[in-house]
Structure 1
Amino acid sequence: MTPNVQALRSASVVLTGLSLVLVLLAWGTSAHARVARIVIDVKTSPAFGGASFGAAGQYETIAGRAFGELDPNDPRNAIIQDIELAPKNAKGKVEYMATFFVVKPIDMAKASGLMWHDVPNRGGRLTLAAASRNDGDVGLSSGWQGDNSGATAQNFPNSNDYVVVPTAKNPDGSAIKGLVMGRILNASGVNSQPMIVHSNPVPYKPVSLDTTQAKLVSRVHETIEGVVSGESEVASADWAWARCSATNPFPGTPDATQICVRGGFVANRVYQVVFTTQDPPVLGIGFAAFRDVGTFFKNEVRDDAGTPNPLAGGIHWLIGRGVSQSGNYLRAFLHLGFNEDEAGRQVQDGTWPIIAGRRVALNFRFAMPDGVLKLYEPGSEGPQWWHKFPDQRRGLPPGGILDRCHHSQTCPKIIEHFGAAEIWGLKLGPEWVGTDPKSDIPLPENVRRYYIPSTQHGGGNGGFSVTPLAAPSCPSAGYGVGTFAGNPVPHTGWGSRAFRACRAGRRPA
């Protein structure tokens, strides 16, 4: 995560909750959620040094784990890749565990009734900012990413949020195997290099350290259309799955997470390896886990074992919120129909994807959800737009992100906003005009969109600047800087004003 994204995340969490209720108003009922059991691991009461916040008074925090089970035959879950190949308990259900972190008034009678369900970005646990505590809001952060790599490593006790999902197996119980691609960019010298997806290690390891069972190539140049020039294969005898350095030269020490090249990596070349791995985690369960944890805390009185829901009866509205990768997660969450729980209830009354223009690549076998749309990374599959619209370039019939929630009548109110960096660096343009850019795609009635031009990913530190700003940088893929000067109203500053206006019941100017 870049510092600018972190700044926007902090600012967005400051935006107070009841301001959105006027825009994101919906409903809730009661029935049984699929979180079977919760465990409270750490409770801090009072929290925040005992400070008092507005009429809500003192707050407390609760860190814990939710143990859930899914019916793989329920159509709401059957869309999960490989769920039918996951192990099942005696009741025929597929189990998972998700961590959670709740921030709430000690006296729930003083709560506003609004809960923010924040989507962790690469495992980063989120708390509720002071401004929202002053409003009496409740905060919930819960795990969804189960690849167990880097920042999403499944360590307990933990300060990050993640989900533990089962491993898919063939029907005869044998391991499922498949090909995975890893890339090494901007490397030089004799030190071994890991395979990185954005900021975390590739979560899969080779079945064998025998390099004849894999293929490593280097390339001089690639275009965004996938045209490759100057490719040459590195002979299997000239590289190793190993950790090496100047003091531990080739072939180094065997290590399935590192690649060592005889003579070292050549600067300005891209290295790409394709190898066989096995045991895919059923990562799409991360959608169901986020759904179930949210609906449990919103609707249930207690779990199956009788443990009380600490928020029972106090939540009337739930708004899902995510920045960058987390906003992409919310778009995929809606597209796959996860805003309807197993009881048929609407989960999120409002959804707020921020600086997000695609869908996270989670519901695949051997998925890598950390990807940021670099070459060959999934996440741009259509449809990327809210409204039902044809995908002319791919020859696909009309479709939209909201098709499934329209069918189940569980679509939330949606507000999205982004800037120039997301258009150019993160390929957001098709959301506006499709893959055949001949006309604008209309917005559904439940969606509001705001564009803040000439802002970079994260939008600065907030506030109006009277000093001319440098042109914004495009994120992640090294596209360089923009042509025009930066917007004197940074993304975070605009967002704060926009949602204050929503609190007052008017549209932002």
Structure 2
Amino acid sequence: MGTKASGLKAACALAGAVAAALAAPTAQARITKIEITSRGPAFGGAEFPGVGAYEKLVGVASGEVSPVSASNNMIIDIGLAPRNARGNVEYKFDFYILKPLDLSKGNHRVMYEPPNRGGKQFGGFNRTTGGNDPSATSNPLGQFLAPRGYTMVFSGWDYAAGTSNANGTATITLPVARNPDGTSITGPSYEYIVMGNATTTSYTLSYPAASTTDKSTAKLTTRKHLDDPATTVAATGWDFVDATHIKLLPDGTAFNANDIYEFTYTAKDPTVNGLGMAAVRDWNSFLRNATADDSGTANPLANDVKFIYTYVLSQPGRLLNDFRYYGFNADEGGRKVFDGMLQWIAAADGLNLNLRFSQPGRTQRNRQDQLYAEGLFPFAHQSMTDPISGKTGGRYDKCLKNNTCPLAMEIYSANEYWVKGASLFHTDTMGTKDLADPPYARYYLMASNQHGTGNGTSRGSCQQLGNPLNATPVQRALFVALDEWASMGREPPASQIPRFADGTLVKADQASTGFPKIPGVQYTGLKSTRYLLNYGPQFDQGIMSINPPVTTAPFFDNPANGKIYPTFVPKTDADGNDIAGVKLPDVLVPTATYTGWSLRATASNGPDGCEGSGQMIPFARTKAERLASGDPRLSIEERYGSFGQYLYFRAAAINEMVSKRLLLSEDGNAEFTRGLQSVIAGGLKSEEAEEQDDE
């Protein structure tokens, strides 16, 4: 009897342990809690045919990860972050969701955007007014996504976006790493400072200074042009305002507008910024796979999501480059997170994120944010050996091993070739041969585009008018193609990029590019140089996979230029417009030269580069005007002869783009009419307008 009783008792204990194990939260990385702080009608209650009304959900989600898991231990300093009772590291972030009120009427697809510096950037892509509350758009029925039944999701990931979401900014709260004894971690930090005005008298540091009284490890320098030698500002010429601000002395002295200042100092209390990638992974995995959080609050998208696609603009595209490299597209259950990624103007760079004292808000260009670690090998998705660094790797190495790779639409502007080394995305690192497209990615240069869209009516700090080319209509068409590729297996349009093989990828000098000599337009061939920078023994690139990193000396203090990765730019036609790539109607039937590069005006420290800006250089209106100025480009009059002929060519160009799946038919009319004002301003008029002028 005693034996049976003890056996029964043991069996009951075992059953209880099993039940407790099943009821307890798993040790995996996960979203543990969601708090919906606001829920209500979206888009003013507009009803979309076949889909119905949408609702908006705003809230805060909390998550945790195991610092020892192989899915997370590559996050720098995670082993030095505080842990909860389960031994995990916690974080929380803001989220924003727009979803069909009746999910069964939606298309069971999510468009996810990790916001750019906390701000939602999909407005132009979605044909809305943009802003951080897109549910308030004034044109709900004209949207791209909602009429198709997409759910739209946004969440914070970038500590540099700040801590207040009062204006709808998506923020994230991350832990501060500390030494094992609980004391503050200190180490080198670096600030690249350029003020856009001559009235600013203080600068906010990214991390607090370890000391505001000991200036012996800090240094401030200044120069006017990027290639000028830096001049050290004496210790008596600057001071700490407090732990997070510096100022020039005497008090009230303003920083010189457009001058380059660099500040190195000893900082303290680094946040564990790489956790932002885990937050993106686990939030999307939760929405796709979970029914509820740990406390039973229902997942608002439970049992609905079949596909998740990203749309990003610039900075978060570089986030997702690193996201893929580190293997975050597999959740801890080994499931794929994103089915496809549409990357706009991210190209071959990663993000200054998974490093101690990193600053993910930075982006390096020809004279902007130099020395931050974003342009690191591997540049391409394909695995290769780099003779310059001696490393072997590719961005898709990890996901190829476990079949979790997302399909990718890599769309970028000509500006990325000039200021970001984008050619390394599709050439070997020695610049000797093209890479074949991998089966999971397509590449599209938006010919002659700048980084984003300029207004075409002002110069700002640049020598010429901004470049107004707008690539969002092509992005919409390629997003549809991405969905069809992932969900139906339909191959997307072929890549369109400059290549060595056809002579459209060339050196940056004017003879090689073929850029015309246009009166009043300066051409220097300025292009960012991609160095393998040598920061010293404390900063090996392998630090990105070592936990914790070694930072015992100011590695940002006077780094030496290392070996150069050869990079190249698109060749142009006789007008100065790019030959290769996807050409918008404005480039197929041009009234101007459009460039992805630009130079600063003399008053703004030119002719240094004008960062992300491009140029619009209008054609002469008539042959006589062209000859008088010495412009080698044909005038509008010589090209088209009549307004009707221009309309014919533009309509034909649009129809061709639609047939190639590079433009949606629903965007055709807008693209047809959008360019008419420029050609009228350029000198061609309709017969009716000419008759009115004659009267």
Deviation track 1:23-64 (CA, whole Å, cap 9, x = no partner) reads xxxxxxxx98600111101001x2111101121100001011
Give 1:182-221 correspondences, 5 Å limit.
182-185=191-194, 192-194=201-203, 202-210=205-213, 211-219=215-223, 221=225
Whether the 8 Å CA contact 1:187–1:265 is kept in 2: the answer is no
* SS of 1:77 mapped into structure 2: coil
Could you tell me how far 1:87 is from its partner in structure 2?
0.3
Residue of structure 1 aligned with 2:145, choices 110, 132, 151: 132
Structure 2 CA distance for aligned equivalents of residues 157 and 234 of structure 1: 38
Task: Check if 1:434 corresponds to 2:598.
Answer: no
Aligned equivalent of 2:358? 367
Indicate conservation of the 8 Å contact 1:425/1:476, yes or no: no
Q: Is the 8 A contact 2:62 2:90 kept in 1?
A: yes
- Partner of 1:175, secondary structure, is coil
Map 1:415-494 → 2, pairs under 5 A: 415-459=409-453, 460-461=469-470, 464-465=585-586, 466=589, 468-474=591-597, 479-480=609-610
Aligned residue in 2 for 1:180: 189
Alpha-carbon contact 1:472-1:486 (below 8 Å) kept: no
Distance in 1 between residues matched to 2:74 and 2:30, nearest whole Å: 17
Secondary structure at 2:321's aligned position in 1?
helix
Q: Which amino acid aligns with 1:106?
A: L
Contact residue 371 and residue 378 of structure 1 kept, 8 A: no
Give the secondary structure class of the aligned counterpart of 2:302: coil
**2:160 paired with 1:170:** no
8 Å contact kept, 2:350–2:375: yes
- For 2:103, the equivalent position in structure 1 comes to 108
Q: How far did 1:429 drift? A: 1.8
Report 1:376-387 matches (<5 A): 376-387=371-382
| Counterpart Cα distance in 2 of 1:476 and 1:49 | 44
Structure 2 Cα separation of the partners of residues 403 and 336 of structure 1:
9
Q: Secondary structure at the match of 2:594?
A: coil
Distance in 2 between the 1:312 and 1:220 partners? 56
Query: Relative to structure 1, is the Cα distance of residues 181 and 32 closer, same or farther in structure 2, using a 3 angstrom cutoff?
Result: closer
Change (3 A) 1:38 1:266: closer
How far did residue 258 of structure 1 move?
3.2
- 1:355–1:419 CA contact under 8 A, matched in 2: yes
Q: Give 1:207 deviation, angstroms.
A: 2.3
Deviation at 1:184, TM superposition (A): 2.5
| Alpha-carbon distance between aligned partners in 2 of 1:170 and 1:84, rounded to the nearest angstrom | 10
Letter in 2 for 1:334: R
SS at match of 2:159: coil
Question: 1:258 aligned to 2:258?
Answer: no
Report the equivalent of 2:285: 295
Q: What is the alpha-carbon distance in structure 1 between the residues aligned to residue 346 and residue 438 of structure 2?
A: 18
Specify the SS of the correspondent of 1:292. helix
Structure 2 residue 150 is the aligned partner of structure 1 residue 142:
no
Distance 2:262 2:191 in 1: 6
* Closer/same/farther in 2, CA of residues 185 and 146 from structure 1, 3 Å limit: closer
Higher helix share: 2
What is aligned with 1:308?
A: 298
Cα 1:206–1:339 shift into 2, 3 Å = same
Q: 1:161 to 1:167 in 2, by over 3 A?
A: same
CA distance in 2, matches of 1:425, 1:476: 12
TM-score (norm 2): 0.59
C-alpha displacement at 1:81, in angstroms?
Answer: 0.4
Structure 1 residues 267, 98: closer, same or farther in 2, change over 3 A? closer
Whether the 8 Å CA contact 1:113–1:316 is kept in 2: the answer is yes
Summarize deviations over 1:111-164 as a string: whole Å, max 9, x none. 1011111110000136784221111111110111013xxxx1212556111211
The one of 387, 397, 403 aligned to 1:403: 397
Alpha-carbon distance in 2 for matches of 1:445, 1:404: 16
SS at 2:183 equivalent: coil
- Offset of 1:235 from its aligned partner? 1.8
Could you say which structure has the higher strand fraction?
1
Q: Which has the higher contact order (CA 8 A, sep 6+)?
A: 1
The answer as to whether partners of 2:28 and 2:66 remain within 8 angstroms in 1 is: no
Structure 2 distance, partners of 1:409, 1:391, is 25
C-alpha contact (below 8 Å) 2:209/2:243 kept by paired residues: no
Return the offset for 1:484: 9.0
Q: What amino acid is the match of 2:145?
A: S
Paired residue total: 441
Unaligned runs of 5+ residues in structure 2 are 1-26, 127-142, 454-468, 472-583, 601-607, 620-649, 666-695
Root-mean-square deviation (CA, aligned residues, Å) is 3.0
Structure 1 pair 41–266 and aligned structure 2 pair: CA distance change class (3 A): closer
CA distance in 2, matches of 1:384, 1:476: 26
| Paired residues of 2:155 and 2:280 also in contact (CA < 8 A) | yes
Cα shift at 1:327: 1.1
Q: Is the 8 A contact 1:104 1:137 kept in 2?
A: yes
Corresponding letter in the other structure for 2:361: D
Q: Distance in 1 between matches of 2:406 and 2:448?
A: 29
1:240 and 1:468, CA in 2 relative to 1: closer, same or farther beyond 3 A? same
The answer (yes or no) to whether the contact 1:127–1:140 under 8 Å persists in 2 is no
SS in 2 for 1:404: helix
Q: What residue number does 1:326 align with?
A: 316
Shift, 1:384, TM fit: 1.0
Q: Give 1:498 shift.
A: 2.6
| Cα distance change on mapping 1:184 and 1:361 into 2, 3 Å | closer
CA contact (8 A) 2:206 2:244 kept: no
Q: Report the alpha carbon displacement of residue 474 of structure 1 after superposing the two structures with TM.
A: 3.2
Check whether the contact 1:70–1:77 (CA below 8 A) recurs between aligned residues.
Answer: yes
Correspondence for 1:238? 237
Counterpart Cα distance in 2 of 1:171 and 1:451: 48
Contact 1:85-1:168 within 8 A present in 2 as well: yes
**Paired letter, 1:448:** R
Tell me by how many angstroms 1:393 deviates: 2.0
Map of 2:80 onto structure 1: 85
- The 2-side partners of 1:451 and 1:167 are apart by 40
Q: Counterparts of 2:182 and 2:173 in 1: how far apart (Å)?
A: 20
Partner of 1:154: 163
Q: Which runs of 5+ in 1 are unaligned?
A: 1-30, 195-200, 224-228, 243-253, 502-509
Determine helix, strand or coil for the equivalent of 1:498: coil
Equivalent pair of 2:29/2:64 in contact (CA under 8 Å): no
The offset of 1:267, in angstroms, is 6.7
Gap change, CA 1:64 and 1:266, over 3 Å in 2? closer
Assess if the C-alpha contact under 8 Å between 1:59 and 1:104 holds in 2.
Answer: yes
| Residue in structure 2 matching 1:75, options 53, 70, 80 | 70
Identity over aligned residues, as a percent? 32
**Cα separation, partners in 2 of 1:473 and 1:284, compared to 1, 3 Å:** same
